[in-house]
Chain A
Amino acid sequence: MSFFIDGNTGKWEVVLGLEVHAQIKSNSKLFSTASTEWGGDPNTQVELVDCGMPGALPVINEFCVNQAILTGLSINAQINEKSIFDRKNYFYPDLPQGYQISQFEYPIVGNGFLMIETEDGEKRIGITRLHLEQDAGKSIHDQDIKNTLIDLNRSGCALMEIVSEPDLRSPEEAALYVKKLRSILRCIGSCDGNMEKGNLRADVNVSVRKPDSEMGTRCEIKNVNSIKFIQQAIEYEARRQVELIENGKEIIQETRLFDPNKGETRSMRGKEESHDYRYFPDPDLPPLIISKEKIEELRKSLPELPDEKKSRFISEYNLTNYDAQVLTDDQYVSDFFEEVVKNRDPKLVVSWISVELFSFLKKNDIELSESKISPKKIANLLDFIISGKISNRQAKELFEPYLKSNLEAKDFIEKMGVEQVSDEGEIEGLINRVLQQNPKMVEDYKNGKDKLFGFFVGQVMKESKGKANPQIVNKILQDKLA
């Protein structure tokens, strides 16, 4: 199903390209030894390079180089054996050197792609390149009326800039792309992918065109830091552009910001001059040469990537594509699932995790990795279901309080007094009592009123206060009424 903007003159196609900035999960910065920890006091994680002191020199962090290569390998990309660092020159208070060390003509990673799972099936999204660059510091505009305050703790942190081809055609596809990229990054551990903390952010390039015509002028929406905002920004911007064109106006190629409060994009003031970045190779850094051996060594160290894991889940656990997708979206969830499913029926585990557990998490607005729920907690409960000591239905009813309690499954079930009765003798006794108390119904049933079977089951359950094992009740009742 394609996404279109309905304009006055017909349908408009949206063409999107994303530049994702992912902060590398390293201890120190890309070219300095300063710490990258989040939330430090202002200007306490700053080395000479990070505040542009005279005589400061950059020295590259090998871990960051490796992460870029690993990320490149996991997006099926070509790793360039020689890459160059360039200076991107412009003045801004959060850019202390007056230039950013980035990569222009010869990035460390070239063409790649990743697959997204849309409603219409798999779609290949091309990736143009991935390069390493320094992050800028933070400008704080709202703490002082007359001034902007600058904190350089973030200045110099390692970023991977991942540039997609303009292959995306809808807000939904953009969201899927970012989610997929994020799950890959988290899987290999190169980035936390935490958009609220700002260690994953996207610049969204939006243009519109009538289907099958030339690409329109694009606008760049900078620094969008949530998937929801990305979708909203695209919707707004695409409509804005359609409206402008249909009213005979031109789209000015410009940089815009998304305002989440208003749900609108607006032009960035102060950066209107077209930037002449005067890129040139940084003379403080020799070319980065990566050997074939190094690339192979890193390739071998790659963990199982989300797509591989999904395929394996489908074949190993006999899951549907949908279930496998849900469970492999997030590394933590898939690890959790695999822990629980050991020696247990996958179908049962899937439904409990992807339906019951996920509902709980959503209701309480918490991620699985943030909850204190362990695989063992779920597994223990499932064992009670599997052994027949409680019914599926009972377990569902008790799930939320169980999760919130500190008790182990055994103690919790005991405390709740809901241990299912599976003793055949006991159940037979209950059934006999019910049949004795309802002789007319028994006769009616024997005379053909099959529906009364359900009545008897209901009565037995009532007698047992819901604890009787339904399968056993059914079996014995059937025998008795035969």
Chain B
Amino acid sequence: MTDFSTIDITEAKKLLSQKKITATELTEFFIKQIEEKQDLNCFITKTFDTALKMAKRSDEKIQNGSDIGLLEGIPIGMKDLFCTDGVKTTAGSKILENFVPFYESTVSQNLWRNGAIMLGKTNMDEFAMGSANTTSFFGNVLNPIRSDDQKDLVPGGSSGGSASAVASGQCFAATGSDTGGSIRQPASFCGLVGLKPTYGRCSRFGMVAFASSLDQAGPITKTVSDAALMLQSMCSYDEKDSTSSKKLIPNFSDYKKFDLKGKKIGLPKEYIIDGLNEEIKKKFDHCVNVFRDCGAELIDISLPHTNYALPTYYIIAPAEASANLARYDGVRYGLRENSENLDDLYQITRASGFGDEVKRRLIIGTYVLSAGYYDAYYLKALKVRQLISNDFKYAFEKCDLILTPTTPNVAFPIGEKQSDPLEMYLNDVLTVPASLAGLPAISVSAGNNNKNLPIGMQIIGKPFEEISVLAAGSAIESSKEEK
């Protein structure tokens, strides 16, 4: 069997259209990969029968040359946060262990309509709360890249299963969700491309909600070109989502025609902190040069409230989550721990069904909204969010794009940073601000460190200017190849 793990979607589409390969061949290949790489624990549910049926349909369409979708015949992984009709959807949680939706999320629906093939539901941190995929009820996900001393490394989170699956060649691409960095950070840890579009680009209908004002679906892919194709297939205006944007959806692949010459790239001083990992700094500097070589202008900018982004996020996200997860009560679906009275039913079911990290955040979220604390915490956080958003607005008056490292670190061994939740939260320090401001942001691999671990660079763009963000990502990607 040909090794399809070395090609990307863009290449595969060419081969499919040239009838050099079939969708069924591709699907069979990835099924075998998934079966061989189970130790990475990327998939919670495998849908091989369905995948083969979908592949057959794609092959028919390609044969007839009719009705060919943008991702026709392309096998992908679907993060287990997206409700898939008739297919178990767990959000990585015990409380939804056996939940089978009878409806489909808009994002997954769009992908199937575009001809993509569902290989299975990928593993994730429970309810998307985590940065290392170590909080899933279904076990940790491993990064396919191992440390020099052969330790198991985290793939990042919460879309760890998706990132690891793509990086290990178990699928061409996978969907992720990003609330505070959950697409970009695992992409960075696994040497991939992760794109969080502008808030409102992708519909949240059928997406298990974590923090409604922050959640966004997006692709995790091997290349920028693939990311554009995936995003194109995923996003749509959805009248079933009141926060879905009506803004015109461009052809994202037009990033290839976007000229970086004369564009201004902002370098925020608050992100290039003292004590930033040396090798990450080196890669950052390299990217600065890449942009200079493209003819872009580099300017120093300031995003003064950057340091307050994480605390702001860790008030707002848990607060929204505390309400979004109140529905998991054992009554209408999901886990139920039977008891004699209603109160116990609720309390014991939720204590049993939720993991520690989720519980922690729900307690914080409930606390910051409760009487007496609302003004000091939640209301305050909303105001600081405004200031953070304003920082970007003012910065974007001076520049077109912003360059930062994606994470302050590289993939770390599983088991590290587990003693203190705060340590884990700090993984998100560089990704959270763009989430709070709802801006499009991409993480692209800028090469590896001297231990062969991937380093990711982040580019943040103006609202709805994903094309510029993709173009900048592509410039970094090309330079990596040259090295």
Contacts and interface: CB of A to CB of B under 8 A. Distances in A.
B240 A59 contact: yes
Contact of A58 (B206, B242, B325, B371): B242
Contacts, number: 92
Interface in B326-368: 326-327, 329, 331-333, 342, 346, 366
A93 interface: yes
B413 to A, nearest CB: 33
Given A52-B332, A54-B96, A99-B323, A283 B83 contact: no
Contacts of B323: 87, 89, 98-99, 278, 280
B302 interface: no
30 contacts: A53-B101, A53-B327, A54-B83, A54-B96, A54-B99, A54-B209, A54-B327, A55-B105, A55-B204, A55-B207, A55-B208, A57-B205, A57-B241, A57-B242, A57-B243, A89-B323, A91-B326, A91-B329, A91-B346, A98-B323, A98-B327, A98-B329, A99-B326, A276-B370, A278-B322, A278-B371, A280-B323, A280-B374, A280-B378, A285-B243
A53 B243 contact: no
B239 interface: yes
B237 to A, nearest CB: 13
B243 to A, nearest CB: 6
Interface of B (DSSP majority class)? loop
B320 A283 contact: yes
B242 A284 contact: yes
B91 interface: yes
Interface residues of A, number: 28
A96 B332 CA distance: 8
A298 interface: no
B213 interface: yes
In this complex, the member of A52, A55, A276 whose beta carbon has the largest number of chain B beta carbons within 10 angstroms is A55
Given A52-B332, A150-B331, A278-B322, 20 more contacts: A48-B103, A53-B103, A53-B327, A53-B332, A53-B333, A54-B99, A55-B101, A55-B103, A55-B105, A55-B207, A56-B205, A96-B331, A98-B329, A99-B326, A278-B323, A278-B374, A280-B319, A280-B369, A280-B374, A286-B242
Nearest to B327: A52
Interface of A: 48, 51-60, 87, 89, 91, 93, 96-99, 148, 150, 276, 278, 280, 283-286
B188 interface: no
Contact of B204 (A52, A53, A57): A57
A276 B105 CA distance: 33
Contacts of A87: 323
A278 B242 contact: no
Output the residue of A53, A148, A150, A276 with the most chain B CB within 10 A.
A53
B212 interface: yes
Max chain A Cβ within 10 angstroms of own Cβ: one of B204, B327, B366: B327
A96 B346 CA distance: 12
Nearest to B205: A57
Contacts of B366: 278
Contacts of A286: 242-243
A93 B331 contact: yes
B365 to A, nearest CB: 9
Contact of A96 (B99, B204, B325, B327): B327
Given A51-B332, A54-B327, A57-B242, A278 B206 contact: no
Contacts of A284: 212, 242-243
Nearest to A152: B332
Contacts of A54: 83, 89, 91, 96, 99, 101, 208-209, 327
A93 B243 CA distance: 28
Nearest to B340: A146
A91 B213 CA distance: 23
Contacts of A99: 323, 326
